[in-house]
Amino acid sequence: MITLNHYLVLAAILFSIALVGILRRKNLLLLFFATEIALNAINIALAAFSKYLGDLTGQLFAFFIIAIAASEVAVGLGLLIIWYKRTGNIDLDSLQSMKW
């Protein structure tokens, strides 16, 4: 029998995979991918809560997270493209112009 804990552990594992991506990626585009994974992991947890608690709120939260992810992609990619046009790379370590 699959319980809530199964889903939560799965979500935790996926979230940790996303964390690995966030920590080791220097390429901004791939960093975005990692954040998408993290968001999806949370969505699974929310949907699982929704089912096992018999409450729709979890699912609705997941909808809003998807909406946020979509806008994040739109704005983030736009910025990324501009940055690429200016500097010719999208390496995270090059984003240091604010450094004193």
The footprint of other proteins on residues 52-71 (CB under 8 A) is 52-57, 59-60, 62-64, 66-71
Rounded least distance, CB 30 to other proteins, Å: 6
The footprint of other proteins on residues 79-98 (CB under 8 A) is 79-82, 84-88, 90, 92-93, 95-96, 98
| Spatial contact of 90 and 84, defined as CB atoms under 8 Å apart | yes
30 is an interface residue for other proteins by CB under 8 A: yes
Number of residues in the chain: 100
Q: How far apart are CA 80 and CA 99, in angstroms?
A: 19
42 is an interface residue for other proteins by CB under 8 A: no
